[in-house]
A and B are shown apart, each in its own frame.
Chain A
Amino acid sequence: AQSVTQLGSHVSVSEGALVLLRCNYSSSVPPYLFWYVQYPNQGLQLLLKYTTGATLVKGINGFEAEFKKSETSFHLTKPSAHMSDAAEYFCAVSDDFGNEKLTFGTGTRLTIIP
């Protein structure tokens, strides 16, 4: 069975500071990993994904994540936080090549301090 652990249900950073949201996964097979963002009263938007190939993945809005197999991690980073980054972020894992069922973490609420 797959699982995702997001460390820190709430993270606060100052505008312009580094954003680091942590995600660790458990999977018995090579995982496919995703980060989604959810703004208030909206659905989920895909930020980035890792399937195969390069372990450093760049996404939208300046975010990137690095797949580290040895650490079973897929942390999300952004060099400089912007007020518009305030939202809920979800890490998800899928190990299914066809069905694409996603297993989500419990989410991290990111607050940006002006």
Chain B
Amino acid sequence: DAGVTQSPTHLIKTRGQQVTLRCSPKSGHDTVSWYQQALGQGPQFIFQYYEEEERQRGNFPDRFSGHQFPNYSSELNVNALLLGDSALYLCASSFITGIKTYEQYFGPGTRLTVT
């Protein structure tokens, strides 16, 4: 059973560019959350998708947007990249419908470097 997968592993972009990160949830999971982890910091919640809708959002600007597909996979898009967007972006999946386990399974992350 594959866990949460993310692509690409690493990415280097230039300021002002746009980037798309991808996430496939653990089999059987219906919800995807995205987190940003800056160097030396704990992860910060960006937003969560369920049933192809943004369900909850953290304190991130509109430059950060996302999408969830019918197969539950998700994309995170960041426009007009800033140097401060350099971070590890983590995807987590969970199963909201039904019996709640309150467990989120994290992927290995995508390391984004903005130069």
Contacts and interface: CB of A to CB of B under 8 A. Distances in A.
B106 A102 contact: no
Given A43-B90, A43-B108, A100 B102 contact: yes
B104 interface: yes
A102 B103 CA distance: 10
Contacts of A41: 108
A75 to B, nearest CB: 17
Interface string B74-115: 000000000000000010101010001011111111000000
A49 B103 contact: yes
| A: contact size bracket | 20 to 34
A70 interface: no
A23 to B, nearest CB: 11
B43 A101 contact: no
A100 B40 CA distance: 23
B73 interface: no
Contacts of B107: 43
B10 to A, nearest CB: 10
Interface string B5-27: 00000000000000000000000
Nearest to A4: B42
A94 B58 CA distance: 13
A106 interface: yes
A97 B33 CA distance: 15
A75 B43 CA distance: 19
Interface of A: 4, 32, 34, 36, 41-46, 49, 51, 90, 92, 94, 96-107
Given A41-B108, A42-B109, A49-B103, 15 more contacts: A43-B90, A44-B106, A46-B105, A90-B43, A96-B56, A97-B100, A98-B100, A101-B33, A102-B35, A102-B92, A102-B104, A104-B43, A105-B42, A107-B40, A107-B42
